[in-house]
Amino acid sequence: MTHQSWFRAAPWAALFVAAACSSAPSNTTSVQSGTGSSSGGGASAGAGSGTVSPSGTTGSTVGSGSVGAAGSSAGGTGTNATAGSTVAGSGVGGTGASTTGTGAGGSGAGTGAASGASNSGASGGTAGSGALAGNGRHGMSAGCGKAPNGAVSSSFTNHKLPIPECTGCTATMGNCTRDCIAPEFAPGGVSDQEAGGENFTNRDFSIELPSNYQPGTPYPVFMGGGGCGGGPPQNGNGYGINETGTIQIGLGYLVRCFADGGSACSGDQKYEPLCVNGPEVPYVRAILSWVEANFCVDLSREFIGGGSSGGWEAMTLGCGDADQLRGFVSVSGGKREHQWPCMGPMAALMVVNDMDTANPIGQPDQPNVPFNTDLDSYGSAHERIDLLARNACVGTATAMYDPAFPKCMKYTGCPADFPVIWCELPEGHDNTQDGTINYLNAMWPFLSALPSEP
């Protein structure tokens, strides 16, 4: 079977020393406060505050003010603070899985609570359609102004990448940081993988600079990952989307699939919970740190994409490294249930296939498809649900994204900074061709047109 907030990356120098590990929360938590009123049966006005967990096991908002059977609430002005980032904004609240409360008349004081489970897909808490805090990464990297060293414009060159083993933490406890390899995945660990003289602390990747590379010009970065069993990255870009004017990175795996989740990550289904501190997020972060330190990178335009196993990789990094990456594109893939905590919203264009039995769309689109214990996933539909919640999208209405790609639907309730595009084709696994239209051609225009995150 085929396997597949908001912090800056650590300096490259830190990758050559053993990294001390600190407790990492299993859920990213944001705090919202503001004034608002609610509409619906027995509506009441009041001030409310609470906590929202956009990507953890349970998301909930508890506060005073919004009650009523209709449960639709409009927020006034307020602040969103997520893992240290604050942005002023206003938003329109969605409806939680349950709404309870009491109110006096049409405008008296009242109390209410709304909650919803978010880990398995249902959106919980209040979704704001106003300003949404992004990763705030802008400007030029430290490598700007340096002569290119270790890469050329005419071809891909291969590089070995040392990544330190974590100390003072375990993946079993889920408390390792994202810039080192958890002991369980390091040499000798229960989920260690060795191939071709490499392991998770010593992996390779390929890089090619854009034509006429200029050290003083900041360039976007696109990292591509292919499907299981593909060639090594030194053979070229792992997954190309006809990107131009870009620093291209070919991602490589150790054995035959990316170790982003499921048994491909852990080596055995019983060890899949270890993937909450899996090796792929430290790998990609280490690559980006090296590229940023040695070449001129536009920090607001770092992207990832791939097909099949590379699609899983893109979705996993679009969660665990959302405070660094701007957006992802994927073909097939899905949401792993044991993965690094999501670090914020993420722009995404996903291509899925109705006839895909290797990486099925899954629930709720295909409710007859059971949970896949080997992949540790309900399917790609749950990745979409997660993104709609993380991106504070309101509702599930869609409209055609681009007439040139008629199977691509855009969720109209998502913020302009964080669009979610879903392209469902009547094809088999890892396929972007439908009739005469190749939906791969929608990917780079989508990514390159994204504005900088707020």
Indicate the domain borders of the chain: 12-23+138-448, 30-117
Q: What are the distances in angstroms from CA 323 to CA 202, 277, 370, 418?
A: 24, 16, 32, 13
Residue 381, amino acid: A
CA-to-CA distance for 18 and 108, rounded, in angstroms? 58
In DSSP terms, which residues pair with 159 in a beta bridge? Answer: 205
- Residue pair 77/90 in contact by the 8 Å Cβ criterion: yes
What is the radius of gyration, based on Cα positions, of the chain? 22
Mean pLDDT computed over every residue of the chain: 78
Mean pLDDT is lowest, of 69-83, 331-345, 421-435, for: 69-83
Chain segment 380-416, per-residue pLDDT in tens: 999 999 999 999 999 999 999 999 999 999 999 999 9
Span 209-235, pLDDT tens digits = 999 999 999 999 999 999 998 765 655
Structure tokens at 202: 């010593």
Instruction: Provide the pLDDT for residue 136.
Output: 87
Span 12-23+138-448 CATH architecture: 3-Layer(aba) Sandwich (3.40)
Least confident segment among 17-26, 100-109, 204-213, 285-294: 100-109
According to the model, what pLDDT value does residue 10 have? 36
Closest alpha carbon to 203 in 223, 232, 230, 166: 232
What residue ranges in 5-132 does DSSP mark as E strands?
Answer: 19-20, 30-39, 45-52, 58-63, 72-82, 85-92, 98-103, 110-117
Indicate the pTM of the whole model. Answer: 0.73
Name the token pair of 103: 């109110």
Residues with Cβ < 8 Å from 391, sequence gap 6 or more? 132, 345, 346, 414, 415, 418, 420
Q: What percent of the chain has pLDDT over 70?
A: 70
- Kindly give, in sequence order, each residue whose CB lies less than 8 Å from that of residue 372, ignoring residues fewer than 6 positions away: 262, 360, 362, 378, 379
Q: Beta-carbon neighbour count of residue 416 at 10 Å?
A: 10
Residue 346 clears pLDDT 90, i.e. is over it: yes
Categorize the per-residue pLDDT at 133 as very low, low, confident or very high, splitting at 50, 70 and 90.
Answer: confident
443 CB contacts (<8 Å, ≥6 apart)?
A: 241, 242, 305, 329, 349
| pLDDT, tens only, 134-178 | 888 999 999 999 999 889 998 999 999 999 999 999 999 999 999
d(CA 240, CA 276): 28
Two tokens, residue 258? 């990316």
Helices (H), 205-266: 262-266
| Interior angle at CA 283, CA 441 and CA 15, nearest 5 | 135
Percent of the chain at pLDDT exceeding 90: 65
Please tell me which of 48-57, 98-107, 444-453 the model is most confident about, judged by mean pLDDT.
444-453
Amino acid of residue 280: E
For 116, the 3-state DSSP assignment is strand
Q: Are 105 and 316 in contact (CB under 8 A)?
A: no
Contact 322, 340 (CB under 8 A): no
> Token pair for residue 13?
């120098």
User: For residue 238, what pLDDT is reported?
Assistant: 81
DSSP state of 143: T
* 74, HSE (Cβ side, Cα atoms, 13 Å): 3
Question: Strand 30-39's sheet: what is its strand order?
Answer: 45-52, 30-39, 72-82, 85-92
CB of 440 within 8 A of CB of 427? Answer: no
Task: Enumerate residues 6+ apart whose C-beta is below 8 A from 280.
Answer: 258, 259, 260, 265, 313, 316, 317
What is the C-alpha separation between 312 and 377, in angstroms, rounded? 10
Average pLDDT score over residue span 195-215: 94
